[in-house]
Amino acid sequence: MLLLGNALVLLCLLSAGTLAGEIFFRFIYDTTDSLGNTKVCERWAQRYFQANRAGCRDNIEYSSPLKPGVRRFSFLGDSFTTGHGVKNVEDRFANRFRRAHPQWEVHALAQPGFETGDETAFLSLCLQNRYQLDQVVLVYCLNDISDLVPEWTTARDKIYAEQDGQNWLVNSSYFCNFIYHRWKAVRNPWIKNYFQFVRQTATGPVWEQQKERLKALKQEVESNGGHLVVVTFPFLHAVGPDYEFQPLHDSLNQFWREQKVPHLDLLPIYKNTPARKLTVNSFDAHPNEYAHALAADAIGKFLQEQLAVSPK
């Protein structure tokens, strides 16, 4: 009887804990994760990720033809540019830049998950739809090379395939879904070592392939009347005195110098700030509102300097 009583007490405690967890994650917890694969993150996207007719997250529509006498800045990028984890789209760097310069057109040609190959294809699609170029700002993230690594693409496909095959409880419960994905993240070696594998792409055959893709993107921009500049974000979760991804920045800086493409490396503006002040949360390494504000100021100064050397 004592054993049965203890079991019933334990069951009651577990039930109460599970109920509390379900209430918290279903109705209170409202943020994102890096991969965007939890039910909480999916609900977040439904609430805050509103797309315009171009299919891009924004609260204005984009026109294809240039307006006479008006400069256009087209930010080409991925989830950093869309503002993943930033609830109010006005708080991301592109919109801050737009507010600071209402005399210019500012567009965010970006989608979560884009890598260099996707960005080039998306730009080509925009051009097919008669979108005209002026200043094209490639917002580069250090993992934009990932799609050139077959092992990573295989692992990524497996991660999302497993997500489709989740059981009823994981698909129905916000609490169980969150715990399940945290457990998978700890056990999956590719997720655990993701940033380390990216660090290895600073040199070697994969980096050579990436350079050719970036050259092709530059050619695409210039052959369609545009002027390319580049802004690079560091891995914000790792900034600090022992930042281990400096070789990636060095390779990029050297490459863009050789291509005579203006390049703003944002690492110096972040390196003395604790990572916890820059990222969305402990499970999401994307830039938060404060990091976007810092980026907007630096990018604004950089782009104004470029206008002096880039006549329309």
User: pTM of the entire structure?
Assistant: 0.92
pLDDT per position as a tens digit, 244-268: 999 999 999 999 999 999 999 999 9
* Gap between the Cα atoms of 89 and 52, Å rounded: 12
* pLDDT band per the 50, 70, 90 thresholds, residue 309: confident
* pLDDT band per the 50, 70, 90 thresholds, residue 45: very high
Tallying the residues shown for the chain, one arrives at: 312
Q: In what order do the strands lie in the sheet with 105-110?
A: 105-110, 72-77, 135-141, 227-233, 263-265
Predicted confidence at residue 21, as pLDDT, reads 86
Within 13 Å of residue 289, how many CA atoms lie on the same side as its CB?
7
* pLDDT band per the 50, 70, 90 thresholds, residue 4: low
Kindly state the average pLDDT of the residues 229-242.
95
Predicted confidence at residue 49, as pLDDT, reads 95
Q: Is the pLDDT score of 130 beyond 60?
A: yes
Q: Which two tokens stand for residue 274?
A: 């604790």
